[in-house]
A and B are shown apart, each in its own frame.
Chain A
Amino acid sequence: MSTNNSKMRLMKGDITNTEIEAFVFYARPDLQLGSGFGGAITVRGGASIQEELKQYGEVKVGDAVITSAGKMKAKYIIHAVGPRFQEKDTESKLRTTTLNVLKLADQRGIRTLAMPAMGVGFYGVPLDISAQVTLSMVKEYLRSKTGLEEVVFCVLDNREYNSFYAQLAKLGQK
């Protein structure tokens, strides 16, 4: 889907192993990389990424911070601390997090960015809410003045893909 000169795209794959300038990691407030994608970042990118995160200490829900991507294919990782485990105001916090990710990407002059299904899975954000909130936020943002040329939603499996695809189709009709 194109918005002004920027594109939104949907793909299935491992976001930590994608050829892209920057990707988003759905992080914890203490910024410990932990397991899952965090483990993949540590193994593929190296220990320097966790070291770099030390400068930020603990961050609030909604915030996003940036590090290099170490030895990974990407150049940067945006660590975004979104809502987790049915906490209050999940939807509005997810909006704030998504917006902060996009602003940070712009500040750093990033042109291509990959986002996962934000908060879906382990952190329990419902798939339809994640798809609806993040796709509409990104679409809206790309209409404004931005250096972002492409935002790729890189999801894990058919279940996520189908939900994002349906939501994207709905947005395309608007």
Chain B
Amino acid sequence: MSDSPARSQKAQKVLERFAKKLNRQMVGSLLACVHCGMCTDACHYVLANPGDPTFAPAYKADQVRRIFKRHFDWTGRVFPWWVKAKSVYSDDDLEQLKDIIFGKCTNCRRCSINCPMGVDFATFNRMARGLLVSVGVMPEGVAVASKDQWELGNQMGVLREDYLETLDWVSEELRQELGDPNAGIPIDVMNCDVVYAINPREIKYDPRTIADAAKIFHLAGENWTMPSEGWDMTNFGLFSGDDDLGGAVARRLYDKVEELRGKKLVISECGHGYRSTRCEGQNWGGVDVDFEMESSVITMLRYIKEGRIRIDPFKNNKSYTYHDSCNNARSCGLFEEPRELLQIVCNDFREMYPNRAENYCCTGGGGAMSMSEYSAQRLKSAKIKADQLKATGAKVVVTSCHNCVDGLTDLIRYYKLGMEVMQLVNLVANAAIVKEKVTAALP
């Protein structure tokens, strides 16, 4: 990076915003690293690139940390050479930083939970991404998805008419499949027990998951609806580090649930959507909501336990393993319920190792699937996940995240694993018994 004292407008704005983003948690992580290296082997980039120290979490963290030290820590202000403090000056410095914080980390937080000092690199890596985004320095795919979500209300640029038309034909097909004229997707119904929000990927590439969810709600006799707008539960702000986007997106969804006077918001299977909507959105948006929020994994499990739907696990007759989405498992603690559900709806479940909060990233996390300039690096790092999947011997990998579906599908193709990727909603809908009227719970 340049040592020139003249500073570009963008570099200056990055430093100004850096100061505003510092809080106790952030400063703790920026100061606490003792460079013990215990996080090093937690990172899939390191494991796939042995001998390249630039992939080590502590090295990547130091690229942000040295700016902090130069401007906000007295040691770096007084003895910059001693603590390796260094500022950013040029737009080129920012570009170099971009390639590290976007290109060499999926913000999976595996290093964070393996640090004995409590350093949460992923959290300040996200903050650093936000600093660059605020001055327009970001991978092209991040810009495209962010602009779509800001302006069209969803990160895949789905237009309102396409959304409604898709729900319409999904409803029509469901009526035909179930032979029931009352089946279908209710739109904007007031005072429902459940408002169901989805990932725009479901409209664009995977409407089967919407049909499966609608079938489950119908069979469970749920009083449910989907919103005509404010329906995207994903949030690119989590990936881009833009808290303003995070807050605006979360508030659109919350506002719509409140407008519909929904009692509970059910979030379809998506790790980052679940984390953003349920765990982070209220902070970003500066609002409190007074309705419940729940992952559809928990909803489906409850329907089975309450006897509202009955299951024939023999309908899912392959061998299945479960991949934990980082955002669900590591950041939100959602890892037992999906396993419990999967073991109800199939007979051949094979655990993956390591698992739960220690599972490896699908390598498409943190928005990596949208950053095509880093695809080669991403797929190389995916070797770790590929080996992990292969070792299970399962034919199908199940996950509760649309982003992971894409990440896993890509690496399975690249490493020629020949596995299929499914979500729990597919398996529950497939195993659900349609004809009988359900009156009792499973023993």
Contacts and interface: CB of A to CB of B under 8 A. Distances in A.
A167 B245 CA distance: 22
A interface, size bucket: 20 to 34
Which of A34, A35, A44 has the most chain B CB atoms inside 10 A of its CB? A35
Nearest to B137: A85
B280 to A, nearest CB: 17
Given A35-B144, A84-B136, A121 B160 contact: no
A88 interface: yes
Nearest to B254: A158
Contacts of B13: 86
Interface string B153-165: 1000101100000
A86 B151 contact: no
B303 interface: no
A122 interface: yes
B146 A122 contact: yes
A38 B159 CA distance: 12
Contact of B9 (A39, A88, A156, A158): A88
A88 B12 CA distance: 11
Given A84-B136, A85-B134, A124-B134, A44 B159 contact: yes
Contacts of B144: 34-35
B148 interface: yes
A82 to B, nearest CB: 13
Contact of A36 (B134, B152, B160, B255): B152
Which of B134, B143, B151, B159 has the most chain A CB atoms inside 10 A of its CB? B151
A106 interface: no
Nearest to B148: A35
Contacts of B146: 122
B400 to A, nearest CB: 28
Contacts of B152: 14, 36-37, 39-40
Interface in B181-195: none
A85 B251 contact: no
Contact of A159 (B145, B159, B248): B248
B115 interface: no
A158 B286 CA distance: 14
A131 to B, nearest CB: 15
A19 interface: no
A170 B230 CA distance: 29
B251 A158 contact: yes
A67 interface: no
Interface in A82-113: 84-88
B252 interface: yes
Contacts of A39: 148, 152, 157
A121 B248 contact: yes
Interface in A113-163: 121-122, 124, 156-159
Nearest to A42: B157
Contacts of A157: 153, 230, 248, 251-252, 255
A68 interface: no
A38 B248 CA distance: 20
A158 B143 CA distance: 23
Interface string B232-247: 0000000000001100
A36 B251 contact: no
Which of B10, B145, B148, B160 has the most chain A CB atoms inside 10 A of its CB? B148
Nearest to A126: B244
B59 interface: no
Contacts of A17: 160
B100 interface: no
B248 A40 contact: no
Interface string B398-415: 000000000000000000
Contact of B147 (A36, A44, A158): A36
Nearest to A44: B159
A158 B255 contact: yes
A85 B252 contact: no
Contact of B153 (A87, A124, A156): A156
B72 interface: no
Contacts of B293: none
A159 B10 CA distance: 27
Interface of B: 9-10, 13, 134-136, 143-148, 150-153, 157, 159-160, 230, 244-245, 248, 251-252, 255
25 contacts: A14-B160, A35-B144, A36-B151, A37-B151, A39-B148, A39-B152, A40-B157, A44-B159, A84-B136, A85-B135, A86-B10, A86-B13, A121-B147, A121-B150, A121-B244, A122-B143, A122-B146, A122-B150, A156-B153, A157-B153, A157-B251, A157-B252, A158-B251, A158-B252, A158-B255
Given A43-B159, A124-B244, 10 more contacts: A14-B152, A34-B147, A35-B143, A36-B148, A39-B148, A39-B157, A85-B136, A86-B9, A86-B10, A124-B134
Interface of A: 14, 17, 34-40, 43-44, 84-88, 121-122, 124, 156-159
Which A-B residue pairs are the 6 nearest by beta carbons? A36-B151, A85-B136, A36-B147, A121-B150, A35-B144, A122-B147
